[in-house]
Structure 1
Amino acid sequence: MTLLNEQAAGVYVIAVTPFTDEGALDLQSTDRMVDFYLEKGATGLTVLGMMGEATKLTAAESSTFVKRVLARVAGRVPVVVGVSASGFAPMRELSESVMGEGAAGVMVAPPGHLRTDDQIYGYYEMVAETLGKTPFVLQDFPLVTNVQISAAVILRIIKTLPTCVMLKHEDWPGLSKISTLRQASETGEGRRISILVGNGGMFLPEEMGRGADGAMTGFAYPEMMVDVTKAYAAGNIERAHDLFDAYLPLARYEQQPGLGLTIRKYTLAKRGAIASGALRKPGAKLSGADIADIERLVARQTRRLQAVS
């Protein structure tokens, strides 16, 4: 497998982790899920992310799941693995394991105790030292990590740590950060790295307009992100926005804190991507009213897509 690099673009879907109704790891659904994402046009996959319930897996389960995904992908697209950990020893161990199995790179989010610019830079300096030659993605998700990473710190990391090849941009609002990073690379003030965006694609058209290379996030309809990025790359800006608008009500509904992953997995199960929409405990459950909302949104989405096709 080719290693992750600064030219990465397209849609790297953040994969869910399928479980049975009883909470066991569902490896057959893992195969179905991989096939589903690739059929919808994913150019890469990211596993063990924050929306992949990684913290609910044992170390053995994490290894088993990653191996199953990599085996099913069989080198067709790059696979990035989240290796964020409370210490560098487990980070190194997991990273070496997944890279040995064929992963293209790893992703690291900052721990929540970092506050100053120097602390953040120092942490990623140690990440780079820990990972060695392994390329890594810097996950900038302050809404969850509570760590505010400025554009200046990112540029400092990019300048001095060559194994940082991608930013997963999930700041909100953060459009100006993308603009700043792209302006720096255009003027020669900083190395150009890949920028893939998150937040369920909620701002994808605007982020593409600021210079993002695509998306690294999840949504029950990953083809939305695929089609929007393709339309934008082809210069068909209005079509990109029309497509995005058709999916937006469901994408917005899926972004509810605490319930979003349950909504996503319910819809993926409905679409046949996984056998069960169950989350491993603890996890929220949908009410009858929630399900009625989802069904209504899906029906309206179908009609709107027909109108813009």
Structure 2
Amino acid sequence: MTRLTETARGVYVIAATPFTDSGEIDFDSCDRMVDFYLDAGATGLTVLGIMGEAPKLTTDESSTIVARILKRVNGRVPVVVGASAPGFAQMQDLTRRVMDAGAAGVMVAPPGSLRTDDQIVTYYTQVAEFLGDTPFVVQDFPLTTGVQMAVPALARIFNSLPTAVCLKHEDWPGLAKITALRKDGTLNRRISILCGNGGVFLPEEMERGADGAMTGFAYPEMMVSVVEHHAKGDMERARDLFDAYLPLARMEQQPGAGLAIRKYIMFRRGIIASPAQRKPGANLDALSRAEIDTLMARLDRRLKELA
């Protein structure tokens, strides 16, 4: 079993959870989705993230879908599992289940009740104690969690907890945070920094010192291309490709509608059989679907020009 380490880089796609129109888990679409992500060049997958509708799943369903994805991946890339929970007992139980099944590590977001640096550091210290030797990702997503994780707090976490190996950087604006974390003397080791927010700042994040992306844009091949061209030193090509996808990445970032848009695009691309979310969930009206169809058609034309 490959374990997550500080060397994680590339694109860890946040996997959606496919449902049927009636709200059941669609395992056939799940298999097809995994194949698509790997064919697109994903270097890892992240399951049961915020955009994976994890709170709408039972504990048994969560374990079952992780097992299905791990079986389909078959060790080709590391799989990280979102393990955030209201209490440590639930977090510990899910972590044990998924690590026994072959996961590479887990991701933990802070509860919204945390306000001070000391509270944040204490929380993650307890996370590390409960998870034992399991490597974990610290999810920094204040737009959703409401928790502001300043650089000094993050430094205390990573400098004192060896099993905290990766930061999912999803602050907005947050480019200066990447620079501060990469500054000599801030951290006592180099950690992995993978970025979110649908990839809308990925070129700048890579230039600031990020190692890649951990997010769920419906065109993961864009993120793979940006990361690969950055590694080659060809940011002009990376930005040209990024710019072509930006209208759709921007469309996906709409609060409240983003997941519906992402699932609709995945449905239109033949990745999942239905764009349905498990209730409660937003639905797109006909005009919104038509707007997305237009952007997808424009993207196809632009990619042919760039080729």
Structure 1 and Structure 2 fold alike (TM over 0.5):
yes
Unaligned runs of 5+ in 2: none
Determine helix, strand or coil for the equivalent of 1:165.
Answer: strand
Which residue is equivalent to 2:121?
Answer: 121
Deviation of the 1:28 alpha carbon: 1.1
Aligned to 2:279: 281
Match of 1:63 in 2: 63
Residue in 2 that maps onto 1:151:
151
Give how far 1:88 is off.
Answer: 0.3
> Where does residue 297 of structure 2 map in the other structure?
299
The aligned residue for residue 160 of structure 2 is 160
* SS of residue paired to 1:81: strand
Aligned 1:105-144 pairs, distance under 5 A: 105-144=105-144
Counterpart CA distance in 2 for 1:144 and 1:305 is 33
Residue type of the alignment partner of 1:257: P
Cα deviation digits, residues 271-294 of structure 1 (max 9, x gap): 111111100001111111101110
- Gaps (5+ residues) in structure 1? none
Task: Give the aligned residue type for 2:271.
Answer: A
2:2 & 2:15 partners in 1: Cα distance?
20
| Percent of residue pairs identical | 67
Deviations 1:96-138 (A, max 9, x none): 1100000000000000000000000000000000100000000
Among 287, 290, 302, the alignment partner of 2:288 is 290
Map Cα deviations across residues 246-298 of structure 1 (whole Å, 9 max, x no partner): 00001000111111101110110111111111000011111111011101101
Residue pair 2:6, 2:192 contacting (<8 A) in 1 also? yes
| Bigger mean CA offset, 167-176 vs 293-302 | 293-302
The CA deviation at 1:302 is 1.2
For the residues of structure 1 that align with 2:187 and 2:123, how far apart are their CA atoms?
A: 23
What's the secondary structure of 1:196's corresponding residue?
A: strand
Alpha-carbon distance between aligned partners in 1 of 2:187 and 2:197, rounded to the nearest angstrom: 28
* Matching of residues 1-309 of structure 1 within 5 Å: 1-184=1-184, 187=185, 189-309=187-307
CA distance in 2, matches of 1:51, 1:188: 31
Structure-1 separation of matches of 2:57 and 2:284 = 22
- Residues 167-188 of structure 1 deviation map (CA, whole Å, 9 limit, x = unaligned): 000000000000011113xx47
Counterpart secondary structure, 2:272: coil
SS state of the match for residue 51, structure 1?
helix
Q: SS of the residue aligned with 1:12?
A: strand
1:2 deviates by 1.2
In structure 1, how many angstroms separate the alpha carbons of the residues matched to 2:303 and 2:197? 22
Partners of 2:180 and 2:186 within 8 A in 1: no
Cα distance in 2 for partners of 1:188, 1:20 equals 47
Q: Distance in 2 between matches of 1:308 and 1:48?
A: 35
Q: Which runs of 4+ in 1 moved over 3 A?
A: none
RMSD: 0.8
Task: Report the residue type matching 1:23 in the other structure.
Answer: G
Find the aligned partners of 1:225 and 1:151 in 2 and give their Cα distance: 26
C-alpha separation between the residues in 1 aligned to 2:186 and 2:65? Answer: 41
CA distance in 2, matches of 1:238, 1:182: 23
Residue type of the alignment partner of 1:252: R
Q: 1:138 aligns to what SS in structure 2?
A: strand
Instruction: Give, as a single letter, the amino acid of the residue that structure 2 aligns with 1:18.
Output: P
Tell me if structure 1 keeps the 8 A contact 2:158–2:187: no
Q: Which amino acid aligns with 1:140?
A: D
Q: Which amino acid aligns with 1:254?
A: E
Q: Name the SS of the counterpart of 2:91 in structure 1.
A: helix
User: Aligned partners of 1:95, 1:4: CA distance in 2, in Å?
Assistant: 14
Query: What is the CA distance between 1:190 and its match in structure 2?
Result: 2.5
Specify the code of the residue in structure 1 equivalent to 2:161: L
TM-score w.r.t. length of structure 1: 0.98
User: 1:202: Cα distance to partner?
Assistant: 0.6
Deviations 1:186-243 (A, max 9, x none): x475211000000000100000000000000011111000011101111001011111
